[in-house]
Structure 1
């Protein structure tokens, strides 16, 4: 049984790494959160969205902060298997033995990003099926046990070919990415002007050990207390027309367990049910899932992955946790390198807090965060009118 104190430290280390990865990202915080969630759960992510929306940049940032070996490839219709899995060893081939040199290729990666993943040939997709599902790559005499934690596949649109359905089902979590909304364009342009100034350095120490321990802790999480709620959620989704295979329904428990561990708990609770819309296969189905499961997700929140928890639950607890986390990150950033506009940023966050929660409905954690922001300003901030 994993040591609770160790899990607590590991979750804090991963939380810091995710915060680093999110720095300088605009409207891609949810994607970063989901990649980390799936790395702990041992599941894969499919990202769907138009080109030029910083999908790969968000994934690279997570990979760098976690200190993992990372593999990335843009697949085309004429991509050969050896471009992804490694070339044939010609010396062995002369002896009649088919052996693949996998060093530095996908079978030996811990985090992988495959862009335009559905354009792969039948040979590539068949090899990927075994690798994604069993974490084993086989060809000829080559049998490689892959250390793959999470594979992120990306495409511009979901494929309509039924022949790709079995392959697509291996990606349990789905994230649908749109261009940055109009209200955040100034932020996007500012970061674009700054260029590399917003990029943080890679962490010198790998968090592989922490990820291993958290993954082990996730496998030991007790999900029995939410079993009835999970079954209820799956029934509701299917009744609403959301197509969910038995595989997706069963493996959703892994996401619930990973969410619990990242929130420093060994027992899953209703707070972890925000992950359920992630398993819906389309953007419309995820929107529908958020509606039909709304009453099951009112308590949903996650301190390590606040952006994803809020986006998928749309609940008040998750919103409060996200704003409390944002306050802590902002104050920590200002302590290290206070910019000239620090007052504007604090006041903006205070306005969001006051607009979202009346004083008598403000969760304790958020009330403490608000007080810390006010103390930083150094003067009194009145409660909103009508409170």
Structure 2
């Protein structure tokens, strides 16, 4: 196994470990990984209490980088994010911020209610997000930030805030757990207190893969990408030129995480998450269906499945989930997880339509739930 493949495998394990017990939140963890490798940022939109911060914290802890988190409000001061003025240097007539332990030193950042920040905060954030630099007075420092995850309950309607939101290239819209997964939600939540530390990677894995992004041969997918964009425009879904150009970097990152150096049509799926609104993404699932038929990624299976909504992608994810459940013999939650997987398999596939792999996984899950408690 190459160093790049090993790094991608460790990140895949981090995603699985970080989302154990958190139902339907694998997408968030996977898109954090994609954004980190691409050098872009992620905006998560959804109601409170949907485990957004829990996933970000777990992924950050597993990656081991310096982590900064803050809940913004109308009265949040810039110093709460970027550090106070260094009083010792102020006596010498220099206005410098003491950034120790603050956002400018973070590898991974989570900003909750990000659109509630003041104009001064958002202006400083633009420099950190776009240029990876923090400037204030005489302070001018490079920021090691790999990814910033912003969270909000809704997209802003104010044009100035919408322009700031455009700096978050990836968009994920989350909903409360659906009715058919409530048992898994209850079981997972009950088991949170006893959750053991999971798989880990480190910043070196991200940096190794991120350096590989620039080496990806992407020319062959520019025409299919342009054609997909034309389909979106014809359907009334438009993107800014900046977002269109940056989509190529996400495609290249997806290629790297798939273990390849040559981008193919299988790597075009990140375009879905570049679309800025929930309505645009829902429209795109039908508009882009033909363009995304080949979409696949062994590291980011759940993110791909949401895009294509094709049986083949669902089978791939269900087989992997079943194997993980069956391998976990020490957890009290495995029976509930197995029952939830069986419900999902039976709801999506008639018995004659089961692939041999999925049929075998289903049979083993039945054996698991039939075992004495």
| TM-score over 0.5 for the pair | yes
Report whether the alignment pairs 1:272 with 2:275. Answer: no
Partner in structure 2 of residue 56 of structure 1: 53
Distance change (3 Å), C-alpha of 1:117 and 1:339: closer
In structure 2, what is the Cα distance between the partners aligned to 1:87 and 1:141?
Answer: 13
Alignment of 1:1-387 (within 5 A): 5-197=2-194, 199-201=195-197, 206-334=201-329, 337=330, 339=332, 342=335, 345=338, 348-349=341-342, 352=345, 355-356=348-349, 362=355, 367-368=356-357, 370-371=359-360, 374=363
In structure 1, what is the Cα distance between the partners aligned to 2:337 and 2:91?
Answer: 69
SS class of match (1:175):
strand
CA contact (8 A) 1:299 1:315 kept: no
Distance change (3 Å), C-alpha of 1:138 and 1:280: same
- Structure 1 gap ranges (5+): 380-387
SS class of match (1:294):
coil
How big is the shift at 1:200?
3.3
In structure 2, what is the Cα distance between the partners aligned to 1:301 and 1:224?
Answer: 19
In structure 2, what is the Cα distance between the partners aligned to 1:344 and 1:30?
Answer: 18
In structure 1, what is the Cα distance between the partners aligned to 2:301 and 2:35?
Answer: 15
CA contact (8 A) 2:106 2:145 kept: yes
- Structure 2 gap ranges (5+): 369-373
How big is the shift at 1:176?
0.7
Partner in structure 2 of residue 385 of structure 1: none
SS class of match (1:244):
coil
> What's the CA shift string for 1:162-185, capped at 9, x where partnerless?
112221110001011111111112
In structure 2, what is the Cα distance between the partners aligned to 1:354 and 1:123?
Answer: 51
In structure 1, what is the Cα distance between the partners aligned to 2:333 and 2:155?
Answer: 45
> What's the CA shift string for 1:262-299, capped at 9, x where partnerless?
11111111222221110111100110111110111112
How big is the shift at 1:369?
5.9
> What's the CA shift string for 1:132-182, capped at 9, x where partnerless?
001111112211111111101111111111112221110001011111111
In structure 2, what is the Cα distance between the partners aligned to 1:23 and 1:360?
Answer: 29
Q: How many aligned positions are there?
A: 368
CA contact (8 A) 1:32 1:62 kept: yes
In structure 2, what is the Cα distance between the partners aligned to 1:51 and 1:360?
Answer: 38
How big is the shift at 1:195?
3.4
In structure 1, what is the Cα distance between the partners aligned to 2:340 and 2:121?
Answer: 52
Structure-1-length-normalised TM-score? 0.88
Distance change (3 Å), C-alpha of 1:66 and 1:236: same
CA contact (8 A) 1:107 1:148 kept: yes
CA RMSD in angstroms comes to 2.4
